[in-house]
Structure 1
Amino acid sequence: MTTISKLIRASHQIDMSDIIREGHPTLRKIAEEVTLPLSDEDIILGEKMMQFLKNSQDPVLSEKMGLRPGVGLAAPQIDVSRRIIAVLVPNIEEEAPSQAYSLQEIMYNPKIVSHSVQEAALSEGEGCLSVDRAVEGYVIRHSRITLDYTDKNGQSQRMKLKGYNAIVVQHEIDHINGVMFYDRINENDPFAIKDGLLIID
């Protein structure tokens, strides 16, 4: 049975055993474009990736299934070298308490088409489901991005993101380009702050 055949079985739920870790060659490949119109296989895979994120953020299910909480997952992380990402960012903004998530989307062939000059980094650094160790330092990214992608209904979309949501999506797009988050940390001075760098708490 191929990796993807196993992943999209109706009875299978993605868990930590499906996620490959740093050092695996798939994580360093540039993933292949997804063919349009979307196949049932790619649609189901995207939905399974989103369900993993939901399960990982559920305190009861995550403990039961042994999941690490995640806000994003890219297909290469489950050893499928395709340009598919899922992002699920809980809403912590008080202005819109009725919305559970500030960003919830499955994206096929996502591509950043423009970005800000200003750069940003998370104050606590970044983690990754494919990295079982802490890597300290500022991961330098764009503070704002505009991206194009195809949604799970096969519709072309354009989205503008800033701050944390922009960083999450950039992290996942890096995965489909064979880039790990720590590639963006200054080796000589991990916490170097360049002029104009926005630090996000």
Structure 2
Amino acid sequence: MDYIERNFNILEEEMIKQMNNALNFGRKLIDTELKTGIFNPLIKPLAKKFYDSWSKNNAKVGTLKQIDITLNCGKQLIQNGSSQKEFDALIEKYFQGYLEGDQTYIYCDKKHKNFVKLKEINKKLFIIQVRGAMEMMQIKKDVNNYKELTRAVFKTKKEAYDSLIRNIDYNDEAIKLTEKNPSILKVPMGKKII
């Protein structure tokens, strides 16, 4: 079962790399998208300072928690058998921890009328992420990196595309729900930007 650990490590490394790329991209957006006119010399450094603090202390910590939970849940299911009953039980066991790493959840009004709906979307996303991690961890073929691992999992571009779209669809659903209900976020300003 060394292949499971190998694939776990490949996935973890890639997920962390993608997280860091996304956070770095967010920082670059401050330079290119934030336009405050004559206040630029004052506002941009403050915005960067805030973003750096938030990304290091909140987003990065939360995302690393989600990565750890997703991969370990998938690994545990592979090692202990993944009957539907066992799968459902582990999803229930780990979902709250996964959710607590989600930045939208952290800043949500838990009493909002659409909070339960947002939580359900996040649960569906967690489930497909665990299933995807399980599928990738079970590849026995000799692979050395993420590119080789994905090629072993997805036989065609369509399979890879369909898998990606499932993730994007749930993310889009959560974004649309938040856009239609900005009061679901407990932030004093900047809801339109988020």
Q: TM-score, normalised by structure 1?
A: 0.25
* Greater share of residues in strand: 1
* Greater share of residues in helix: 2
* Structure with bigger RCO (C-alpha 8 Å, 6+ apart): 2
Instruction: Tell me which structure has the larger Cα radius of gyration.
Output: 2
